[in-house]
Amino acid sequence: MTKSQSLRATLLAAPLLFAGFATARAEAIDTSKSIHVAMVPKLVGLSVFKANEKGAKEAAKLLNIKFLYTGPVTASAQGQVDVFNSLIARRFDVITTTSNNPTQLAPALKRAMKQGIKVVSYDSDVAPDARDFFIQNTAYDALGKALVDGVAKYAGADAKVAILSSTPDATIQNEWIKALKAYMTSAYPKMTIVTTQYGQSSPSQSLTAGLNILQANPDVTGIIAPDGAAEVGAAAAAQKLGKTGKVFVTGCSDPDSIRQYVKAGIIRESPLWDEVKEGMLVMYVARLAANKAIGPNSTFTAGSLGTFTAKNRVIVFSKPLIFTKANIDNYQF
């Protein structure tokens, strides 16, 4: 064993308690053969996906993965399909992706699987028969509850609320919206959703949508924005219109992007998870899938991240991590 291989084996075996998952020593992961793994986000440039990339690069070094980060410049399903076709032609070993449209991406990913390429979705799922595994950020009902509670606590149990999402077909956002509506109905029956708008995962389009929401609906006191760009756009709109302390925004964005709005009091609570460590987990699952060392219902150890369980090929990454003014400076991504 070379010195670099010995160091890699030591790092893979290091135990660490993380996010409520059990501490365990890593099982040996065969990294003797180099593999090519691509990470294809909804679009390049969005901060949450950059955080995924950062973690994926760190893990790739440990796992003998030749890593490529590539994707469309706008939130386009066809743009992702074009990228997949290129990766299939180049015979990558694993494609990992977060979906702009679960059905539109399916044919290309099924073609990849037929050619022996493993497919791992994360964040926003593709059609289940078009991937080998899905890494779900957090349980949908837990995230939906956190989003609604984050508005109700400050805007009130009878608040009029708007939703500002990414795109109409985004799998993960639609699951969260479904979950938050169910929780809102049971926990806050007097709370109402007056409009649902979309910002196309673009900060500028989300700002425009946020301004339109607040100008057209002056009685809205809460905006739930389950998308990184949408939360920033909604918060910027509330600030621009002088509604700090009158309109409360929550959503799902990285701490670096929302820090100024949290400190200004526009965002009081914002649930997410550690995007960097999720990117690391994506690479561990990709490596294990390529090795055929993970089953559809199995428990595995992902190095220092801890132990995880696949159930029907779905792996839940973390419980919601709530960013507040008190803790947001503890996180830098």
Question: What is the pLDDT at residue 27?
Answer: 54
The yes-or-no verdict on residue 47 having pLDDT over 90 is no
Name the residue among 56, 29, 11 with its Cα closest to residue 289.
Answer: 29
Can you name the CATH fold of 140-272? Answer: Rossmann fold (3.40.50)
Question: What is the pLDDT at residue 332?
Answer: 87
Residue that the structure tokens 């690391």 belong to: 280
Backbone phi, then psi, for 197, in 5-degree steps?
Answer: -125, 170
Which stretch of 18-22, 45-49, 143-147, 285-289 has the lowest confidence by average pLDDT?
A: 18-22
CB contact at 8 A, 42 and 80: yes
Distance between start and end Cα atoms, the chain: 35
Neighbours of 313 (CB within 10 A): 18
DSSP 42: S
How confident is residue 28, by pLDDT bands cut at 50, 70 and 90? confident
Rounded mean pLDDT, 1-27: 38
Question: What is the pLDDT at residue 171?
Answer: 87
Dihedral angle sign, alpha carbons of residues 188, 194, 198, 199: negative
CB contact at 8 A, 43 and 72: yes
pLDDT tens digits for 177-214? Answer: 999 999 999 999 999 999 999 999 999 999 999 999 99
CATH 3.40.50.2300 residue spans of the chain: 3-136+274-318, 140-272
Rounded mean pLDDT, 308-327: 97
The yes-or-no verdict on residue 19 having pLDDT over 90 is no
Question: Which residues are paired to 119 by β-bridges?
Answer: 95
pLDDT tens digits for 262-277? Answer: 999 999 999 999 999 9
DSSP 128: G
DSSP 41: -
- CATH architecture entry for 3-136+274-318: 3-Layer(aba) Sandwich (3.40)
β strands within the chain, DSSP E: 35-40, 65-69, 94-97, 118-122, 133-136, 160-165, 192-198, 222-225, 248-251, 270-272, 298-301, 307-311, 314-316, 321-323
How far is it, in rounded angstroms, from Cα 264 to Cα 325?
9
DSSP 105: S
Backbone phi, then psi, for 42, in 5-degree steps?
Answer: -60, -40
How confident is residue 55, by pLDDT bands cut at 50, 70 and 90? very high
The yes-or-no verdict on residue 24 having pLDDT over 70 is no
The yes-or-no verdict on residue 106 having pLDDT over 60 is yes
